[in-house]
Amino acid sequence: MVQALLAAAFPAAPEALIVPIQTSGDAITDRSLADAGGKGLFTKEIDRALLDGAIDIAVHSAKDMETWLPDGIVIGAALERENPRDALIGAASIADIPRGGKVGTASLRRQAQLLAVRPDLVPVLFRGNVDTRLRKLAAGEADATFLALAGLNRLGKAEAADAILDINEMLPAAGQGVIAIAHCTDHAGAAAAMAPLNHAPSLTCLRAERAMLDALDGTCRTPIGALAQLVEGRLSLDGMVSWPDGRDLTRVHRAGAPDDPESLGRSVGQELRAQIGPEFFAALD
């Protein structure tokens, strides 16, 4: 997608070269991210290639990026956001999952929101790409699973979704549905090339969501959801935090001016932090 957009924006330039990099997060699929080392497993090899000058820009699924980027790296652009909601596969709704059923997920965010309304269900670890998870479901390893609708749409597999969940029942991950482009802060050429690719509303929403994570010290050990939306010139942000078993699920909604998304994100994050209490973060740490 980024290669095609660069070709359209700079038709006289040589075609951008895609450099495939397999990350540790792609290779390790037998345990949760928290147990394997965190979301940095999806970015550390790519970050190193950026800092070493082996690549000029890095293309990420924004929700896989760590809350704090390495020194010298910045998100320079965001593509227009796909549908950020989660899809349920295997049941027509959360209520329709069989009592005591197994639900495949590697996401503490999804697990917490699921158990908050269906404590009878049993989460089982599902890691891997979309096809791998769908194969595990078809093989009977779980009764249902969740996938990001954005990924299904981009792969042309939207028909796999049995239900598209409302954000009031399953708040997405921060950055879900956004393709983010990172580059080194001192690479002026990369920054200039990213300018025509950037979808400003999507980047504004991403900035608010990531600022909320920053205020919460959010990691992959913390069940956190966030979704910012621009509606009629106002920026709104929904945030969620919960214990992994669904206890004390806390949600905050606030709105503010779109010209300062970080302030809105910090405000929501600080409110969530105050409501759930310091013992929550101490226990998960």
Residues that are catalytic: 64
Q: Give Cα 96 distance to the centre of its chain.
A: 26
Find where tokens 């227009």 sit. 80
**Quick one: which of 277, 228, 224, 278 has its CA closest to 251?**
224
Element (H, E) at 273: helix 261-276
Query: Does residue 235 contact residue 204 with C-beta atoms inside 8 Å?
Result: yes
Q: Report the C-alpha dihedral over residues 124, 175, 57, 188, rounded to 10 degrees.
A: -160
Query: Does residue 213 contact residue 206 with C-beta atoms inside 8 Å?
Result: no
Locate all alpha helices (DSSP H) within 69-158, ordered by sequence: 108-117, 130-138, 149-154
> What region, left, alpha or beta, does residue 128 occupy, with left being phi > 0 and alpha being psi -120 to 50 degrees?
left
- What count of other Cβ atoms lies within 10 Å of the Cβ of residue 224? 26
Query: Does residue 112 contact residue 249 with C-beta atoms inside 8 Å?
Result: yes
Query: Does residue 90 contact residue 134 with C-beta atoms inside 8 Å?
Result: no
Q: What 3 state SS string does 41-56 have?
A: HHCHHHHHHHHCCCCC
Residue 60: both structure tokens together:
């990420």
Residues forming beta bridges with residue 181, ordered by sequence position: 59, 77
